[in-house]
A and B are shown apart, each in its own frame.
Chain A
Amino acid sequence: MPHSKNTHRGSREKSRKGLRAETRKSCAIQSHKGFVALLDAIMAIFVVITFSGIITTALQQKILDPQVQLQRQGMDVLAVLEYSGAFYSPNAILSETSDATCMRLEVYNSTSSTIDYTAVKAGCPSSSNNERVAWRSFVKNGQFGSAKLAIWVKQ
């Protein structure tokens, strides 16, 4: 009987050890799964943030070339110059425009090849690499002429 008691005790011990090993193994698997799930979640969040960022950036980009606004302003200035008959004396009108912009006026003869007159807005350099250009035709003493206004943002 003692033998059988010992045998029974031994088998219980073995069973307990086996269970402990199994538990440890199960914990390791669970831990591994958790790590994968965490990695998966991080990647998902990264993908979502990246996509959202790209979309938001695309939406925030300016739709039209901001230089177009300069050309609009140039067209307006040319119209005022023609209405005022001031193509050959434009300084008073050019000085009334925004301080943020620079302008250069060139007046050509009818063939648009020879410059008859040039004026640069006071306090501005004579040219820029980022000029926008607008043109306007006019008639003076029965002769056709054209005016070119180069406009750019003051640096």
Chain B
Amino acid sequence: MIGERTGLFGKGVVRPSIPAEPKGKRGYILSLVVIMLLSVLALYANDAATQKQRAHTFLQKQFYTEKTVFIIDDMAQDVRSVLSLDYPADSTQLIFNENLVVNKSQFLANYSDFISNFSQLENANVSFAYSDPLGILLSNGLVYTSNFTNQQIDLYNSIGGAAAITAYYMSINSSQASSAYSLPTFMANGTLVFLNFTDLAKPSKSFTASGFVDPAVPNQFDIKYSGNNHVYVNIGLVDGRQNSYQMQQVGVTALAGHSLIANLTTRDGLYAAYNLPLNITMPGVNFIDRLPTR
């Protein structure tokens, strides 16, 4: 009788029957379970490996990004040796310092060759374009240019209107003896100007002068040299731009150092870069932008 089991010694116990599964089906279920288990493990392993690869790629890119920043900082330090700009976070001052003795065109040409070879040591490709004048472009529209060919320095607002500057502090070093100087007409108010002229020659004709000038009209400091040569410092209306600054050497290359501090009316998120389009290529990183000043 189906569903009835007989005891070992003939004492039958009637129990409800459980239909026995075929042996092949049991094996199939076991295989399925094993395959599912291994599939889960394989998926887990694959996911773990993918995450690991992603993390590796991310960290590698991060390292190359750090290296790019390192190279940019390195180059900025090198270019700063001829022209630098500092703008401390807690002040509204722009501080330009310039070496007027170095031929910047020649310097940048040589530096371009040097840095393209040097960057090979760091497994990077670095190149930049250069042209005279060397300039610094600020995010507030101000532009500082240093033209070695014309021996002229300018600071002006490139986006129109008067430069948002309340004061100019100039410090100029001359390696040749000046003969005389003349000052602009100072006013009761306007843009504050302060000139510290240091004549390194003997006998020295150093002087300082300060006062307010009208930013809407031309104002000129004239430092005279022998042979009717001049160093002009123009502040106010220069080349049709109000409250601008210009320093010019005419017939003489007398100046060795030039420092200009400009007091801004405001500074919000200020950013500055040299007019040197830079291209840095490393695995996973390609930086194409101007060289920051710091």
Hey, which bits of chain A sit against chain B, CB under 8 A?
Answer: 16, 19, 23, 44, 47-48, 51-52, 54-55, 58-59, 61, 63-64, 68, 72, 75, 79, 82-83, 110, 112, 134-139, 142, 144, 146, 148
Nearest chain A residue, comparing its CB with the CB of B69: A75
Q: Which residues on the B side are within 8 Å of A58 (C-beta)?
A: 45, 48-49, 52
Q: What are the interface flags for B50-70 relative to A under an 8 Å C-beta threshold, 1 for contact and 0 otherwise?
A: 001001100110010011001
Distance (whole angstroms) from the CB of A114 to the closest CB of chain B: 15
Distance (whole angstroms) from the CB of A52 to the closest CB of chain B: 8
Q: Which residues on the A side are within 8 Å of B111 (C-beta)?
A: 144
Contact present for A112 and B8 (CB under 8 Å)? no
Distance (whole angstroms) from the CB of A116 to the closest CB of chain B: 15
Contact present for A75 and B70 (CB under 8 Å)? yes
Main secondary structure of the interface of B (DSSP, over half): helix
Distance (whole angstroms) from the CB of A8 to the closest CB of chain B: 14
Nearest chain B residue, comparing its CB with the CB of A26: B8
Main secondary structure of the interface of A (DSSP, over half): helix
Q: A64-B63, A79-B70, A137-B78 are in contact. Are A144 and B52 (CB under 8 A)?
A: no
Q: Which residues on the B side are within 8 Å of A148 (C-beta)?
A: 121
Q: Which of B49, B52, B74 contacts A137 (CB 8 A)?
A: B74
A-B contact pairs, 28 of them (CB 8 A): A16-B9, A19-B8, A51-B38, A51-B45, A54-B45, A55-B41, A55-B44, A55-B48, A58-B49, A59-B48, A59-B52, A61-B52, A63-B52, A64-B59, A68-B63, A79-B70, A79-B74, A82-B74, A110-B114, A134-B122, A135-B122, A137-B74, A137-B114, A138-B78, A139-B77, A142-B107, A144-B110, A146-B118
Contact present for A137 and B118 (CB under 8 Å)? yes
Distance (whole angstroms) from the CB of B20 to the closest CB of chain A: 14
Q: Which of A19, A136, A142, A144 contacts B102 (CB 8 A)?
A: A142
Q: Which residues on the A side are within 8 Å of B44 (C-beta)?
A: 55
CA distance A149 to B47 in the complex (A): 39
* Further contacts, 15 of them, CB under 8 A, given A59-B48, A63-B59, A68-B63: A51-B38, A52-B41, A55-B41, A55-B45, A61-B52, A64-B59, A75-B66, A112-B117, A137-B75, A137-B78, A137-B114, A139-B81, A144-B110, A144-B111, A144-B114
- Tell me the chain B residues, 112-167 only, with Cβ under 8 Å from chain A: 114-115, 117-118, 121-122
Q: Does B183 lie at the interface of the complex (its beta carbon under 8 Å from any beta carbon of A)?
A: no
Q: A19-B8, A23-B8, A63-B59 are in contact. Are A144 and B78 (CB under 8 A)?
A: yes
Q: Which residues on the A side are within 8 Å of B9 (C-beta)?
A: 16, 19
Q: Does B222 lie at the interface of the complex (its beta carbon under 8 Å from any beta carbon of A)?
A: no
Q: Which residues on the B side are within 8 Å of A54 (C-beta)?
A: 45
Distance (whole angstroms) from the CB of B104 to the closest CB of chain A: 11
Q: Does B34 lie at the interface of the complex (its beta carbon under 8 Å from any beta carbon of A)?
A: yes
Nearest chain A residue, comparing its CB with the CB of B117: A112
Q: Which residues on the B side are within 8 Å of A59 (C-beta)?
A: 48, 52
Nearest chain B residue, comparing its CB with the CB of A76: B70
CA distance A148 to B67 in the complex (A): 15
Contact present for B110 and A79 (CB under 8 Å)? no
Nearest chain A residue, comparing its CB with the CB of B53: A63
